[in-house]
Amino acid sequence: MNKKMLALLILPLMVLPLASFGYAHLYDSVTKKYKLYVGTMYANITGFHVDNLRLIDKDNDGVLFGDELVIDIFEDADGVFNVRILVNPVSPNFILDTTMNITNVGDLPWTVTWTLPPIIGPMWDNGTTDPCWLTPPTKSLAPPESPMWPSELWSWEISYWKINSTGRYPATSTEHVYKPGNIFQVVQHIDLKQPTNAVEQALYRDIMGKWFWIWESFAFESEDPITTSSWTWPPPIA
């Protein structure tokens, strides 16, 4: 065969692989990516303050806090914050005023619900038996099991507030939406008055040596999402 003819045959064979290689790497693509962060819902106690206290110093050691008045604030295994207030002993002219701040430290806004009156525990016949904290009250609040709360002897006041960057506002159950960083504040007053007449003295004798408790519960629920639509890219020309 003519050598020139052989070279002409070989040349197309060399070109074909190069052409195939080039066409195999011509492509286009579109990528759509999502990043979804699951929001957190946290209602944490971020502040608790005793505003006013009047209490008998039972052991006369000059110490009330951590002694006759014990306040424990902790997060339980379920992530729920608890406040436990133990006062022992309570006497006439007892006063305890407190302020508690619950802050939205999560990402999701929430509303808060509570019920009034709070759960009031019954009187215990044996004054030496501490009812502990584990089982909620189940007995009737009607006399004679009721600790007479409130009554001629007891005074009870409680107020609720919303605090955000613009100020402090009175709050009612489910009224406000608390955005991250907002504070739900509970201000509370309780006192046992000094008996001033025979009726009040009889009431006081009836509750002497008895345990009872007060339970307050607050429920926090995430705010309903907003439904919307019709976002377009590129935006329409005005």
214: amino acid identity, one letter: I
pLDDT of res. 18: 54
Q: Domain of residue 197: give its range.
A: 46-127+139-222
Find the range with the poorest average confidence among 4-18, 104-118, 143-157.
Answer: 4-18
Please report whether residue 150 resides in a domain: yes
Q: Is the pLDDT of residue 6 over 60?
A: no
Per the structure block, which two tokens stand in for 128? Answer: 């030496």
Please report whether residue 14 resides in a domain: no
Residue whose structure tokens are 């629920």: 221
pLDDT of res. 217: 84
Please report whether residue 228 resides in a domain: no
pLDDT of res. 122: 57
Cα(113)–Cα(222) distance, rounded to whole angstroms? 11
Q: pLDDT tens digit string along 28-69?
A: 899 999 999 998 888 999 999 999 999 999 999 999 999 999
Q: Which residues contact 62 (CB under 8 A, 6 or more apart)?
A: none
Q: Is the pLDDT of residue 147 over 70?
A: no
pLDDT of res. 7: 55
Percent above pLDDT 70 for the chain:
75
Task: Calculate ∠ Cα 144-145-146, nearest 5°.
Answer: 95
pLDDT of res. 17: 57
pLDDT of res. 233: 85
Please report whether residue 6 resides in a domain: no
Rounded average pLDDT over 94-99 = 96
Query: DSSP 3-state assignment of 20?
Result: helix
Cα(82)–Cα(72) distance, rounded to whole angstroms? 8
pLDDT of res. 4: 53
pTM confidence score: 0.78
Domain count, the chain: 1
pLDDT of res. 237: 80
Please report whether residue 133 resides in a domain: no
